[in-house]
Structure 1
Amino acid sequence: MDNPLQKIVRSRLEDLETNPFEAAKSAGLERSFLNDILIGKKLSFRTDKTEQVARALQLDPKDFAALIATPAIPRTVPIMGYLGAGAEVEPEFEQVPPEGLDHVDLPFPVPDEMIAFKVTGNSMLPVYRPDHIIIVYREQRKPIESFFGLEAAVRTTAGRRYIKTIERGVGGIFLRSWNDIEPIGPVKLDWIGEIFATLPPAAVKRIGQQGGIQGRLSLQRAG
């Protein structure tokens, strides 16, 4: 049985009397893009592809966006790397491409400004387990004072990324995990990602790019 996205694409291609390969090419998409939707290989696509897909199907982008705005279609969020819970992450933030290293399909719709991180290490057990997916806001929306005493995704000025509880202490800002004997700090933070949702691995579908995260990232255990 076709999912809603497949039904829309199949119906429009029939109306236009064209095939998925020619339609995709006409809009500057990868040749197999629409065909992958038809055969169920691609269950969703990034929001920034909406206009191109609409053009391929000769639909108004706003009308097309409204057609696919249904929870039955998973939402795709880019994975921007592993957030170290007791581990240092490579590649560095500056080396991560804007489109992310991989993508995951979520079982529910989320705002466009979301990104995802994958947890590694066990310093946040039992709250966060290895391979949990943390969905956070791409841009910091609140001042640092709003996060004192709360867990968040953070990036320090030294380029390290963590999921930690943010604390204000003598001498500055400190980061603490449940199992830490001593907190990290004082530190200066470049960015704080407010946590939107936390999902176990079974709840999401990972869409690996060539090589995948495991092949791209090297973990160095923190001392």
Structure 2
Amino acid sequence: MDKNYPNRINELRNERSMTIEDLSERTGLSVSYVSRLENGERNLSVKNLNLFAHAFDVAAQDILAKAPEKAPNVVGVMGRIGAGAEILPEEEQIPPEGLYEIETPFPLPHDAIAFEVTGESMWPRYDDGDIIICWRQGVVVEEVLGWEAAVKTATGQRYLKRVLQGSERGTFDLESHNAPPIRGVRLVWVAAIQSVIRSGQWKKLTPSARQRMVQKMTASG
């Protein structure tokens, strides 16, 4: 795990009045390494997760901190698109919750992710500041042939493009307004565009606003 997904090692250790030395002995890991894991400075592997679960006598999932509750009209913006160019940054380079979260005018499924349009060169189809909504899981590429979709190529680039069958088997052509077509690429992830939220119809969610929203959800639950 990392700092974006903190663990509960410190919390569980304190509940049991254990020292780091005690925990080190129970897990067979060094004191310094346990300390770094506890502080989120090192990734918590599945093997180490099981070691701590055994040491605390809890289920493995109890070692992990609960993800913050998500309101149905909040979605993470996973990157920006513009000029018919690739989506930046790569989803793997940013926290799982996205660059930032936005509040949308309608509820969205838990699997929804968003991309923000930047620049005017995708006019008239999209405007600067529009939000594209799609599903994280993606679909089979054949389902979006002839339609615009968010895609990831085998070489790691992400685009918002119209997907067409390529000239060679297993390849596809990517086209968009006001940008040269990209021919003969292989795709490893494809997500259909589920909706477009126009600029001005969404707002960036601040941490304090998110906290108030979660508290309201908890109180009404």
Give the whole-Å Cα distance in 1 for the aligned partners of 2:147 and 2:81: 16
**Alpha-carbon spacing, 1:74–1:137, altered in 2? closer, same or farther (3 Å):** closer
1:177 counterpart = 2:172: no
**Alpha-carbon spacing, 1:48–1:197, altered in 2? closer, same or farther (3 Å):** farther
**Alpha-carbon spacing, 1:174–1:125, altered in 2? closer, same or farther (3 Å):** same
Q: Report what 2:24 is aligned to.
A: none
Q: Counterpart of 2:163 in structure 1: which amino acid?
A: I
Equivalent pairs: percent with the same residue?
Answer: 41
- Tell me if the contact between 2:172 and 2:185 (Cα under 8 Å) persists in the aligned partners: yes
Q: Highest CA radius of gyration, 1 or 2?
A: 2
Give the whole-Å Cα distance in 1 for the aligned partners of 2:112 and 2:134: 6
Counterparts of residues 1-223 of structure 1 (less than 5 Å): 48-50=67-69, 75-140=73-138, 142-171=139-168, 172-180=171-179, 182-207=180-205
- Tell me if the contact between 1:152 and 1:194 (Cα under 8 Å) persists in the aligned partners: yes
Q: Counterpart of 1:92 in structure 2: which amino acid?
A: E
- Tell me if the contact between 1:79 and 1:103 (Cα under 8 Å) persists in the aligned partners: yes
The superposition leaves residues 45-86 of structure 1 with CA deviations (integer Å, 9 ceiling, x where unpaired) of xx95339xxxxxxxxxxxxxxxxxxxxx87110011113443
Give the whole-Å Cα distance in 2 for the aligned partners of 1:112 and 1:146: 21
Question: Considering only aligned residues, what root-mean-square deviation do their CA atoms show, in Å?
Answer: 2.4
Give the whole-Å Cα distance in 2 for the aligned partners of 1:202 and 1:74: 19
**Alpha-carbon spacing, 1:87–1:127, altered in 2? closer, same or farther (3 Å):** same
Q: Counterpart of 1:198 in structure 2: which amino acid?
A: V
After the TM superposition, list the runs of 4 or more consecutive aligned residues in structure 1 that deviate by more than 6 angstroms.
none
TM-superposed deviation, 1:163 = 1.1
Provide TM-score, normalisation by structure 2: 0.57
